[in-house]
Amino acid sequence: MEKVGTEINFTELLDKINPASKEDIVELQGKIKAFRSEEIDSEKFRAYRLARGVYGQRQEGVQMIRIKLPYGKITPDQLIRIADISDKYASSNLHLTTRQDIQIHFVKLENSPKVWADLEEVGVTLREACGNTVRNITASCTAGIDPKEPFDVTPYTHAHFEYFLRNPICQEMGRKFKMSFSSSEEDTAFGFIHDLGFIPRIQDGKRGFKVLIAGGLGAQPFMAFTAYEFLAENQIIPFTEAVIRVFDRYGERSKRNKARLKYLVHGIGLEAFMKLVEEERKGIKTQSFEYTPVEEIVPAHKSSLLVEKPIHPAKYERWKKTNVFEQKQAGFFGVYVKQHLGDLASDNARAFAQVVKKFASEDIRITVNQGWLLKFVEEQELPALFNALDALALAEPGFDSMADITACPGTDTCNLGISSSTGLSAAIEKMLTEEFPDTVFNRNIKIKISGCMNACGQHTIGNIGFHGMSIKNGAHVLPAMQVMLGGGLEPDGTGSIADKVIKLPSKRCVEAVRVILSDYEQHGQEGEYFNAYFRRRTAEDKMYFYKLLKPLAEVSTLDASDYIDWGHQDAYVTEVGVGECAGVMLDLVGTLISETEDKLAWTERLLARNSTADAAYAAYTTMVCGAKALLTGEGVNCNTQIGIIRDFDEKLVKTGKVQIEGGSFESLVLQINKQEPSVAFSEAFVAQARHFVGKIKEYRKQQVLIS
């Protein structure tokens, strides 16, 4: 494989990739230069780079790059390329996330365009991996081979990814937007915690989906509503587009902690929200999206199989029992690979890619619990595959078991990390391995850990969950964790949100797990699911688990080690930076007018490419941005797009400060959901946006002269 991205071949490399990606990368280069020369405000630049997968780290001067891998699909060659890039530009490590992405860390800002170009050459993007956009769309890793699936959801997931990538309706929303596709009613992609979750169903011989809406985790988790028990397959993209457009217009934009779809839907009610969605349907560009489902191509059996005996027979049997399952395709097996903390060194990644090429399909899937799934392995080759994985320390039994803990990077690299999630995870796994070795067979309990309340480690859907915090003891502060119990998937496929129980010093959380498991062993009924045990004990005494763990919370028994976080040597210091999970709103009038001009230029490019429906929506966002600029200059708080539209009429049109043809800005801009996006309408609407931008620039010019 040729060496990736050098200064000499960078321009040549750009010419090899698709034009849209090349335009993105060249633009990113230009924005970085403008930021360095202080031509762009730092907050505006932050919002821009986040939507291009470039995320500020806890460590000054370096970035985390999030690589967007729809439904976790990656090929061996793509994996090798990412490993090479990590060696060249990052820390020689690949981190798998709970959203089936890969992250690399410690990248210099100026190198991010080169990283992106090297990835695009092998068909991988950074676009909209972070920021106020449609994030990576996740799916059950078993999609296509799941014996329980009514059909393969992979083509539908991929179609959603392609449809919304660079789509004007989701470039700068109030907050991020997350979707998932589960392969069966078991909802293994956790649709119940997503903005939109899709579960496949067949009704009257036709394909469709149960649709869940407005779920979410974070500091205030919400279970999703059911929008439809069955929605025909050709309607899920039109429905999604209408939902996003309504969220874009009515969603909160100033109060970041209230800006997710869950707050909008729970605030106005599902019925009122669905009515707005229905009203939006006329203006969307796709009224019916026809899929061409492609069934998984079953590879031919190999003529000469590599038959070996397992080097470690006892470990092999445990691995086969916990990490291997028979696919719906007869004669083939899926193999899970447990990846400790989701971290894989680049050298091992390259070696792992070669193992995949030798034994499995090249369609590798990253799992939602930070591991891997290999597909189409033949039974006779399982021992040889085990030996090859074991040589890379990748054949540990217990995938997705109690001993396979999910944890975000926490204080290792994240600005928002409060206490160490990875250090605690390693300590708990060590204890379980030594004291509860059979936990590798226990899928009844999932342990999930986040370094803060924002739930990147999905602690609120853990049977046992922890999220980072701190505790004050007099003048001293020590690392701590909030203990949560009873979350996750129930045996019937429905979801539950965990309950908060107690705050504990981080160093005592290993003992907390030990105490909980011992109590479960002693008091759990035969075959009783952990969550059922938790609810039963809580029903008997709502303070039961608080009392059980209260001795561990006593500050009077603290010693010096409690003031040092897991994996650290120095005394704990709270260091929480500014979160970058989404863009930050800007309120400088000049900056906003400049942003309006950028949006208009993008609108014109879309129109020139005959993307007329997209150009119409871009024209709408251009006018809203321009209206916000003038309202900001008037001292008006701008919380939502619909608020901006109505306030512009009230404060600027009705007062005669700005003349609008027809006398209503709302009537002008909301043509977007009253008219079908024909070529004639789009061209006329873009012309109106062009005229409006000229008006606000002139108004701003006069205001500056007066002041």
| HEC sequence for 5-67 | CCCCCHHHHHHHCCHHHHHHHHHHHHHHHHHHCCCCCHHHHHHHHHCCCEEECCCCCCEEEEE
Instruction: Convert the pLDDT of each residue in 86-109 to its tens digit.
Output: 999 999 999 999 999 999 999 999
CB atoms inside a 10 Å sphere around CB 570: 8
What are residue 483's phi and psi, to 5 degrees?
-90, 130
Domain 138-283 superfamily per CATH:
Sulfite Reductase Hemoprotein, domain 1 (3.30.413.10)
Name the residue ranges covered by the structural domains of the chain: 10-120, 138-283, 313-390, 406-563, 589-706
Instruction: Convert the pLDDT of each residue in 291-348 to its tens digit.
Output: 876 666 777 766 566 778 999 999 999 999 999 999 999 999 999 999 999 999 999 9
Average pLDDT value for the chain: 91
11-15, 401-405, 440-444: least confident range: 11-15
Asked if residue 367 has pLDDT above 90, the reply is: yes
* The pLDDT value given to residue 576: 52
Instruction: Convert the pLDDT of each residue in 230-277 to its tens digit.
Output: 999 999 999 999 999 999 999 998 888 889 999 999 999 999 999 999
Instruction: Tell me which residue of 1, 425, 416, 375 sits closest to 218, measured CA to CA.
Output: 416
* The pLDDT value given to residue 579: 52
Alpha carbon 625 to its chain centroid, in Å, reads 26
Tokens of 439: 């936990």
Taking residues 349-374, report their average pLDDT: 96
User: b/e string for 349-377 if b means 16 or more Cβ within 10 A?
Assistant: bbbbbebbeebbbbbbbbbbbbbbbbbbb
- Write the class of the CATH domain 406-563: alpha beta
* The pLDDT value given to residue 71: 97
What are residue 113's phi and psi, to 5 degrees?
-65, -35
CATH code for the domain defined by 589-706: 1.20.120
Instruction: Tell me which residue of 279, 219, 305, 697 sits closest to 482, measured CA to CA.
Output: 219
Helices (H), 173-260: 236-250
Instruction: Convert the pLDDT of each residue in 167-196 to its tens digit.
Output: 999 998 999 999 999 999 999 999 999 999
Instruction: Convert the pLDDT of each residue in 461-487 to its tens digit.
Output: 999 999 999 998 888 899 999 999 999
Instruction: Convert the pLDDT of each residue in 618-670 to its tens digit.
Output: 999 999 999 999 998 888 888 899 999 999 999 999 999 999 988 999 999 99
* The pLDDT value given to residue 704: 60
**Annotation: CATH topology of 10-120:** Sulfite Reductase Hemoprotein; domain 2 (3.90.480)
Asked if residue 54 has pLDDT above 50, the reply is: yes
- 499 three-class SS: strand
Instruction: Convert the pLDDT of each residue in 514-529 to its tens digit.
Output: 999 999 999 999 999 9
- Write the class of the CATH domain 313-390: alpha beta
Q: Is there a shared CATH topology between the 138-283 domain and the 406-563 domain? A: yes
pTM of the model: 0.90
Report which DSSP code applies to 258: G
Asked if residue 558 has pLDDT above 80, the reply is: yes
Instruction: Convert the pLDDT of each residue in 674-695 to its tens digit.
Output: 999 999 999 999 999 999 999 9
46 contacts 56 by C-beta, under 8 angstroms: yes
